[in-house]
Amino acid sequence: MNFLDNALNLIFPPVCGICGKIGKKYLCDKCKMNLTNSDIYLNQLQDYSNDKSNFIDEHFYLFSYTGIIREKILQYKFEDKTYLSNTISEFFMNNEKLYRFFKKYDIMEPIPISIARKKERGYNQSELIARKIKKLGIINLEKQILVKETDNRPQNGLNRKDRSQNVKNVYKVQNEQKIKDKRILLLDDVYTTGATANECAKILKQAGAKKVGILTIAKDFKKINI
């Protein structure tokens, strides 16, 4: 911690993002233990590399998108509770399975939100998490590869087919030389049908990326109507 962090901690001591207890951490030991022992903590790697219809090679997710985790992700995205990035990041730390996963990639790239959305919200939730992960020193962060040019409808409420349509031609790759033959790890908050991740992986591979995986906080298992 630097001087500024120390000074800020005196004024605003860290609060556990889950139970609200004031302490030394953004995730207290009790909540960390309870959640990592709960049945919504899956810490799972899903391999898609043999699925030819999928441009994503693999997906790592920590939680099932339900209960307190769903609640916290929604607060993080829509209620300006940016400190929750500290809480969520705690689950990425000291996770050996996840460390091995990171090592398979060269560059980490948060899935972008549109410029209009970023202006309105003030931050890209995936980028805040990516910055914390970068501090672990095992993977590089590159924010200038994918851009979201169009403000599409939110995926929420759309069926599987419409979700794929809704993300078509919305993202663009820039600085292609940075991804040539590279293994790219995308970062997002929730994975539902994978339409967004798949579209990003497709254009990244068309631009020369060798491999594309995705890391999300949670996976939504609810059934999306066809």
Nearer to Zn ion, 18 or 217 (CB): 18
Interface residues for Zn ion in 15-74 (CB under 5 A)? 16, 18-19, 21, 28, 31
Closest CB 71 distance from Zn ion, rounded Å: 14
Regarding 146 and contact with Zn ion (CB under 5 A), the answer is no
Return the structure tokens found at 151.
Answer: 């403000």
Closest CB 32 distance from Zn ion, rounded Å: 8
Nearer to Zn ion, 16 or 179 (CB): 16
| Number of residues forming the site for Zn ion (CB under 5 A) | 6
Closest CB 64 distance from Zn ion, rounded Å: 20
Closest CB 123 distance from Zn ion, rounded Å: 23
Return the structure tokens found at 191.
Answer: 């994975």
Nearer to Zn ion, 7 or 19 (CB): 19
Nearer to Zn ion, 31 or 203 (CB): 31
Q: Taking the alpha carbons of 31, 6, 94, 98 in that order, is the dihedral positive or negative? A: positive
User: Which one of the spans 10-18, 58-66, 99-107, 150-158 is the region binding Zn ion (CB under 5 A)?
Assistant: 10-18
Q: How many other β-carbons are positioned within 10 Å of the β-carbon of residue 111?
A: 22
Return the structure tokens found at 182.
Answer: 């590279």
Per-residue HEC secondary structure of 6-34 comes to: HHHHHHCCCECCCCCCECCCCCCHHHHHH
DSSP string, 20-80: --BSSSSS-HHHHHHHHTSTTEEEEEEE-TT-TT----EEEEEEES-HHHHHHHHHHHHS-
Phi and psi at 60, nearest 5°, equal: -110, 130
Nearer to Zn ion, 21 or 153 (CB): 21
Closest CB 187 distance from Zn ion, rounded Å: 24
Cβ–Cβ < 8 Å for 173, 43: no
Closest CB 14 distance from Zn ion, rounded Å: 11
Nearer to Zn ion, 28 or 108 (CB): 28
List interacting residues with Zn ion (CB under 5 A): 16, 18-19, 21, 28, 31
